[in-house]
Structure 1
Amino acid sequence: MEKKSEYFLSNEEIIADLTKDLEDSCIKDDPSTSVESSKTKDQSHADDESELKPSSKIDDKSDAKTSESPSEFDIDEERLKDRELELTEDEKQNLRSEAEALKNEGNKLFLASEFHNAMRTYTQALLTCPLAFDKDRAILYANRAAASIKHGEKDSAIVDCTKAIELNSTYLKAYLRRAQLYEETDKLDESLADFKKILELDPRHSEANHAVRRLPPIIQERNEKLKDEMLGKLKDLGNLILKPFGLSTNNFNMEQDPATGSYSVKFNQSPS
């Protein structure tokens, strides 16, 4: 029994054995690989330098651009908290009314396909609306997300949908919008989770019902593809290490023990 337990290797041990001393093996055993590796390394440094130099120029230009575009949509909630400490209830209600008017203006801009201006207006409404009104602010974030989608800024839209959900955990429209965005950006597991949440809120929701049946096989197919790619890379890696010894991964067979689930590796001198 002891011999058998020593004979079985864990997956981590198998991979560790395959990848052990990879760099030294490649350099010593394959001169052409060494030359290519050296060239690649030199090129890598060149690429790093070429990226660093333009980035300083880009930063100079983007500083001005950032002040016009990305930062204009930032919401400093700490500053809003400080402001609200000095507000009376009447003042808060007045600001809420102003934010509602800005939201309506943003809706008109959205319907007129002026999506960037709509984003600006929703942002102004968020800067106006007191933090105490969670559901009002959730709607503003969700509306700005809709405008961001139309403006081609899906990542920003996901952030805004998430903020809307944080403010209103039962906001079905925000979940739906984020689920769709997740699927469009290949975040399928996150998309499926949101569609499941939608069904908790509305079991008869048709799109969510369809999605929870449609997405699992797509996710499984993707995962199988990723697994095959990983195993293929590991095999190439193993062959590179074993080549100097006149061996290949074909000399080794992995067999799973159905009782324990662990794997054993068997060596074949002459693989078929």
Structure 2
Amino acid sequence: MDDKSENCKVPEDLFNGLKVTESPEAESACPQVSDPKGQPSQSKLPKDDSAHPQEDRGEEECFHDCSASFDEEQPGAHMVGDKATDDSSSELDEEYLIELEKNMPEEEKQKRRKESAKLKEEGNEQFKRGDYIEAESSYSQALQMCPSCFQTDRSVLFSNRAAARMKQRLPKQIEERNERLKEEMLGKLKDLGNLVLRPFGLSTENFQIKQDSSTGSYSINFVQNPNNNR
């Protein structure tokens, strides 16, 4: 993160905080200012130089404290619970999990693996019952618990969650597709009927289709002046 912020700085900002010291030749070359009494007095530049190192030291101390605070802040185990409860973070950050598990003991990894397997079994049962939303949630929680070192287990969980999501979208997509095809088919049939009936001075508006609620069958009635019946 520090490297990225350094690259975003303009070149002028890279020189801020640097201590610039005068060489002995430059100090000897500085002219002396004489006071009204005729006594030479030294230039005020050394006094200004003596004031700047204190300011620079203060800025360096503040910058050091700031960088130290970033080093001390490491991801902890309590952040896993926050991530699991956040619905917006459905996609996992593999780098975050790897960083979290650097100092994790092997016993803790095995414990988390067992909890992940338990959540996966719950998701499988929900999937069999057709509760695809609950199954997706169980698989996502299992992925949050499963350590990144168990790649085979995580691959199965990703596959199961993708299947649950597909099951959620598939019925809706089929229904929408059927409705579009139905409307398109009826429109084409109406256009064809109008094309055939036009030479006779008729249209599909002269034929009314009614469905019998008791039998479900359809009947076609001829109407001479459909505009008058509206």
TM-score range normalised by the length of the shorter chain: 0.3 to 0.5
If the length of structure 2 is used for normalisation, what is the TM-score?
0.35
Q: Which has the bigger relative contact order, CA under 8 A and spacing at least 6?
A: 1
Higher helix share: 1
